[in-house]
Amino acid sequence: MTWSPTKEIIHTSNIGKMMQKHSFTNYNDFWKWTVENKADFWKETIKNLNILQEKEASNILNIDDGVENAKWLYGAKLNIVDSCFQNDKNATVLVFQKSNKAIQKVSQQELLHLVNRIANSFTDFNLKKGNTIAINLPMTLEAVAIYLAAIKAGINVATVVDSFSSKEIAVRFKITKPKLVFTQDVLERGDKIIPLYAKVSETNPEKIVVVSFKEDKISLRKNDVFWSHFLSTNTNFNSVKLAPEEITTILFSSGTTGVPKAIPWNHTTPIKAASDGYYHHNIQQNDVVCWPTNLGWMMGPWLVFASLINKATIALYYDSPLIAGFGEFVQNAKVTMLGIVPSIVKQWENTKIMEQFNWNSIQCFSSTGEVSNPTEMKYLMNLANNKPIIEYCGGTEIGGGYITSTVVQENRPSTFSSKVLGGDFVVLDENGEESNKGEVFIIPPIMGLSTVLLNKNHRKEYYENTPKFKMKLRRHGDEVHQLKNGYFKVLGRVDDALNLGGIKVSATQIEEIVQQLTFVKESAAIGVAPKEGGPNKLVVFYVENTENNQEIDRLQKAKQIIKKELNPLFKVSELVKIVSLPRTASNKVMRRKLREIYTT
């Protein structure tokens, strides 16, 4: 199954309008122009998005310190949150629905007033510009407002996923040292009640603000306060204007070691997110954008900025996207762009639960986070009467995508039709030669690319020992295959990182936890792509500890410890006993060899 754009869709799309303005009739020629004329392209994009600057940039792009240290909007003063409130004051900018409740709508003025009240509250609680707060909340109205308010006040926001264990939360708090942590009393997911406050308080942060509507049901530590006691009544607040490179958000990416990389976003990173939404997802004013996610994953901040800067509506459902209530919400909120990870679609296809709803308001889907399966993507297209799927792949350290689809090209399930506008990459084989199949290396500069890590050496992580090429290359770690028709397929990771349910995690993290099991002497975790395509399965090889070989369900024990210590969303598919792990001369585990052993 393919989807082809009509002349009207091409003509009225945001890409189509830019192509017409510059007299392009061929998309690939247009993409090439955006790469060869980066400063011009991004200058026009900033104008298209109406990014507000108190002090105009002297240069859109400054590469005096090299392309790997590019400075965008050089010399400007701004606060990116100002660009999030440019719709009509009565326009609906956020809709949300709690379980078994009616849909609620929030106008731009209402959201702005809430953001300003929170920003004033920071002052009341003695937080200053450059301090850090942390958010460990589900994706709610309050989470979005706290996030925007902190950035507006010049405060850094460390975003931590609500599904993480106390141990994982503590690691992230240790890196960022937040003065204030926002969480919820409990998290309700269907029949499950997860005690968020109890989990966060185990990490012993300085002070916690608890968003709760049942204050009589929970007792707090001495220094902690409820949301109602935190919130100011003052609805006026002037944003703090900063240099573009000042930190807004601290996100975490596992990479290939057990300690997560702390990746800062600055005031230009949201421009990358918003531009991908504008061009590739074709988000228009008053569209309704829904993407089940969390502020701790990059798609959470992406959703906020790609929606609000493009004057669209954020749609949030407070329960699981796997239940019928979510499908009804998508229908009744008249969602126009729905983002998913492929694992969700697999569940929908198995249960048929979404087939009862009318999703014809959807203009396009988007799929990211893991490799998709063509059969499941065709099923997804049909849920909205054959609408295209924008395959979208990037990273936290990119602020968006490096490879994508568009609404102006033929759409083929599970393939990417284009490199992102304004961005380029090269695919190299094991010998460092250009190839149609191999490892992706990004060609900087691209707006959104990180230039610093808070707890690691950025140059070493992304640039050191990259292959010699005609231009500077940046390591990314994906394996890509370019097809004969010019489209691309992303095959997975080439490094020791795994992609599980749309979440990147290092093999080392999993192995450290599995090796706590008494029957395990040593272990190695790999991601294995199913033959039919789709998300990787987590397979763990282990060498047996012969001193402790009692009869137990070992797979079940492995599942339980991963769920408890790391993330309940990570599922061990198979536990494979092996006499010894294959290693290189330098004693590094040969994961590629393990994949060969498993598949044969």
CA 247 → CA 123, 148, 195, 218, 471, distances in Å?
A: 19, 13, 31, 34, 28
Query: pTM surpassing 0.75?
Result: yes
pLDDT surpassing 60 at residue 257: no
Structural domain that includes position 222: 92-230
Say how far apart CA 60 and CA 471 lie, in whole Å. Answer: 21
Whether 544 is in a domain gets the answer: yes
What CA–CA distance (Å, rounded) separates 498 from 505? 5
Q: Is residue 55 part of a domain?
A: no
Q: Is residue 266 part of a domain?
A: no
pLDDT at residue 584, as a whole number? 64
Q: What is the CA radius of gyration of the chain?
A: 23
Task: Look at residue 502 and tell me if it is in a domain.
Answer: yes
Q: Is 114 within the bounds of a domain?
A: yes
Check residue 313 and give its pLDDT. Answer: 98
Confidence of residue 223 (pLDDT cuts 50, 70, 90): very high
Number of domains present in the structure of the chain: 2
Check: CB of residue 413 under 8 Å from CB of residue 1.
yes
- pLDDT at position 125 over 90: yes
Average pLDDT in the 523-535 region?
79
Q: pLDDT tens digits, residue range 478-489? A: 889 999 999 999
Q: How far apart are CA 580 and CA 593, in angstroms?
A: 12
Final residue belonging to a domain, choices 230, 252, 285: 230
For residue 205, give the CATH number of its domain: 3.40.50.980
Read off the tokens for 121: 């509250």
Buried/exposed 533-548: b ≥16 CB within 10 Å, e otherwise: bbbbbbbbbbbeeeee
CA end-to-end distance (rounded Å), the chain: 32
Residue range 376-400, pLDDT digits in tens:
999 999 999 999 999 999 999 999 9
pLDDT in tens, 543-553: 998 876 667 88
Rounded Cα distance between 333 and 340, Å, is: 17
pLDDT, one tens digit per residue, over 14-35 is 999 999 999 999 999 999 999 9
Task: Please tell me whether the peptide bond between 342 and the residue prior to it is cis, using omega within 30 degrees of 0.
Answer: no
Q: Provide the percentage of residues in the chain whose pLDDT is more than 70.
A: 95
Of 195, 230, 265, the last residue of a domain is 230
Residue 187 pLDDT: 86
Average pLDDT, the chain: 92
Residue 328 burial (10 A CB sphere; 0-12, 13-18, 19+): middle
Query: How far is CA 516 from each of CA 45, 174, 465, 555, rounded to the nearest angstrom?
Result: 51, 23, 34, 14
Residue 395 lies in a domain: no
- Is 517 within a domain? yes
> Positive or negative CA dihedral for 79, 81, 84, 85?
negative
pLDDT bin (cut points 50, 70, 90) of residue 577 is very high
Last residue of a domain, one of 206, 230, 254: 230
In this structure, of 71-80, 107-116, 343-352, the range with the lowest mean pLDDT score is 343-352
Token code pair at residue 361: 């308001």
Please check whether residue 227 is in contact with residue 211, taking contact to mean a CB–CB distance below 8 angstroms.
Answer: yes
> Which tokens sit at 352?
């048929």
3-class secondary-structure state, position 418: strand
CB count in 10 Å sphere of residue 234: 14
Q: Are 242 and 267 in contact (CB under 8 A)?
A: yes
231-236 long-range contacts, CB within 8 A, separation 24+: 231/117, 231/118, 231/121, 232/117, 232/118, 232/120, 232/121, 232/124, 233/117, 234/116, 234/117, 234/120, 235/112, 235/113, 235/116, 235/117, 236/116, 236/120
Residue 526's CATH number: 3.30.300.30
Q: Residue 127 falls within a domain, yes or no?
A: yes
65: CB partners within 8 A, 6+ apart: 71
